[in-house]
Amino acid sequence: MVWAGAMPSLLTVRDVAARLSLSPWTVRAWLRSGRIKSTRLGRRFRVEPRDLATFVEQSEDRL
């Protein structure tokens, strides 16, 4: 049986890099360090859109 509930779309490292105009290498480093909240699916990082929005808001507050 497959669960048909609402599953949030998770962003890949490339998605996050494109949205922040950063390299995937930088995004991976930030994910590893916990600077951006993420989830690991196997060896891959995934980011919830709301967590990315929170990161961007907090980053703007520092400027």
- Write the pLDDT tens digit of every residue in 7-44: 669 999 999 999 999 999 999 999 999 999 999 999 99
Number of H helices, E strands in the chain: 3, 2
Tell me how far CA of residue 54 lies from CA of 5, 13, 42, 59, in angstroms: 24, 16, 24, 8
Please give the pLDDT value at position 61.
76
Greatest extent of the chain over all pairs of C-alpha atoms, in Å: 48
The reported pTM is 0.83
Question: Can you say how many angstroms the Cα of residue 48 is from the centroid of all Cα atoms in its chain?
Answer: 6
